[in-house]
Structure 1
Amino acid sequence: MTDNTQPVDTILNPADPGQGATLTRAVSDIFEAGRLRLQTLILLRWLAVGGQATAVVFTAFIMDFELPLEWCLGAIAASAWLNVILTVRYPAPRRLGEREAAAYLAYDILQLGVLLYLTGGLENPFAFLFLVPVTISATTLSLRATIALAALAFALVTFLGPYHLPLPWFAGEEVRLPPLWLLGMWVALVLGLAFMTAYAFRVAREGRRMSAALSATQLVLAREQRLSALDGLAAAAAHELGTPLATISLVTKELKQEAGSSLDPALVEDLELLHSQAERCRDILGNLSLRGQAGDVVHSRMSLAVLLDEAADPFRDRGREIAIELSPDSEASAGEPPDFVRQTEIMYALRNLIENAVAFSRTKVVVAAKWSADTVEISISDDGPGFSANVIDQLGEPYVSTRRTVPGSKSPGADIDGGGMGLGFFIAKTLIERTGARLVAANATRGQTGAIIRLIWPRRVVEPRA
């Protein structure tokens, strides 16, 4: 048993490893949705163009400072024309590929570097704007692209320290800042680039991972709910199709009686076959209707023993003993084991956790339940290697792989090396907590090995209302 080591194919349905494609595409779409839109990049560049033009015009005409005005306006106009070309060439909702987005952001860094070269280099207080394109990359692009852009910004910051035109100032005067101050500016910009890149990338990555994991949880829950509704649909289909099948059966019977012996024997045989097949269809639909009604009763109210047995049943053929134990708590008022309201979330989560326990056990898995007057607890334990000590505090986070199997214990459907998406335990924990339970994970003690997962509900939450 472990969290988040199941492959994609077993996340959608632990007992049916053929449903992974949908989840793979859905989670991939979540990460793709984090890519940079062209419209966003164009808007940000227009803001930069407006700010740069305002600063240059204010410096030249209001402050009356000397600066290479034509070159500065030319660099700003290049960005404006690039925006115009992109707006005309591409639709606004277009999402940029990673290389394309990185190229546009690299252009923004180079354009800013040209402006700073013309206006004082690191002596210009606007040098901190190097952080903006790199931060945008960190929140939308891959780590490799972000590192490349940060390296470009670092190179330009290093170059602009000693090499630049004079800082714009009053006519006839020149400003020369101390080398130590320029060194401090360089250090501050370099550290700012490193910190902002790492911080923004980590925060954005965690947000995308959590969004994708929650979307996967919603897909799992929706599918399980559809499966649980099939019995009701079967009963409804039996009811709707019963009338036309009865009509077909009656008409064939009457045709045979009215025609008597005047019909060709081959036609009589065909009528008999049609009548028998219609009756057979009615019988099949009748059985489906009864099964749907019986299923409704079972699904709406089931005993604790039946719940555990049904959850463990798909994994009994995987070479491990699965023992189910039920016992009341020590208090005298515990009474009989409670019935459970059938909930898709509980069944899926139990199957997921039991499958993990089977995959990582050596010989045996114990699914135990105990109850008191106020609580119900289900524990799933195995005799495997247990959870890794360095990640046990991260249990429940998406994309966390915690254990490796013991030699020879790998069971079908288990990704022991953590090569899957790492969502199994996260989905199970999320679904269980939706039902009002508390999940506690720990390793075995008292000289034993293995992992233990405890699910604890208030009894009033799971019992059917009278």
Structure 2
Amino acid sequence: MSLIQTTARNLSLLASMGQTAGQQNLMQLIQLRWMAVFGQVLTIALTTSLFGIPLPLQEMFAVVGCLILLNLFSLLRPRRLGEVRNADLLAGLLLDVAALTALLYYSGGATNPFVFLYLLQVALGAVLLETWSAWLLLGVTSLCFAGLMHWYRPLQMPSHEELFQLHVLGMLVCFVLDVALMVVFMTRINANLRRRDARLADLRQQAAEEDHIVRMGLLASGAAHELGTPLATLSVILGDWKRMPQFRDDPELLQEIVDMEGEVRRCKSIVTGILMSAGEARGGALAVTTAGSFLDELVGEWCNTRPSVSLDYRIDDTSSRTWMKEPVISDSALKQVICNVLDNAADASPAWVGLAAGCTDGLLTLTVQDRGPGFAPEMLEKIGKPYQSSKGRPGGGLGLFLVVNVLRKLGGQVRAENLPEGGARVRLQLPLSALAIGEDDERRG
């Protein structure tokens, strides 16, 4: 376990590439540095061979080699959770500025038209870095530019006329490089930032939905507690009535009392299920069953509440049925959300509802199908959002909202679609291991 945790804490950029905006932005800087290395080697080669300008090749290629080592170090250095901080980006940009300054020092200093490549570093820093870091980078580049005006190795240039033409040509090349690289990398970095903002928005939405579920759970738990006392009172009263002569001697009245007792027991069972889902069941052992028995019991209970609906329940023959014998916990919350999906299907298609169950590679799949009008397009786009319902009832749409969130907590997912031949299909998928019996469950059971 400790080895796994250490691996999770220390990841290289290659191992965790693209997971966060910081990692993606550092990858953009590394790609830019590779392009700079290629461009610098090409420029040095053309300057010496095509224009015949002598350069200190040993020193300049040493600087290029340092950039290559910096890239490899940035890619392979272990980081805590693979995260890239502001300090990492600042250090990388400062080293890029230092390398550019060294190359300019050996090639004419501030007289070199490529000195304006400093602007690209400053622009990237303004986008990627925190405010104080961006200002620090600006100050460092300004000092480097100023220093190159006084300290540099002059180039042995041809005549003044050719020098002017080369300088103008160099300014043109530098301008094209600056604007092209700025557009390419600014566009990519902005896309990374937009994806990060979208992920943060999704996390905030998920937190709000979970908070909504907590409030609903507290309300349901409170109502269940309040209902417990009157239901117990009704149970006692009905038991007394059964023993009274005027009811005991009348078969018709006695049967009605028996039916009423059955409904009271059902209400108490529902209240108990609510408390179990809220984690407040007292003094009861965990219900251990098998996956097949869990589904059979669920189907039987639902059919008793909807006797007029024809439920077509079947097991998917394309998968092995060994999963049905797997021991699982009878999760009342999962049972309730599956019943919610079946209820919605029955409301849309009162005559027929289909339920298919299967398991492939440890992934339990439940498919509920109906022959109703299907989902409205706007509902399919916002499936699982609260208060998205076509029934027109106040507070509607909470059923699928709870389904999506309960499945998500179990590591599963919900997919809904309209069928070409009419009707709708909702597919619930979750790992069978999410219902498996753990050691803590066995001790409590």
Greater RCO, 1 or 2 (C-alpha within 8 Å, sep 6+):
1
The TM-score with structure 2 as length reference comes to: 0.38
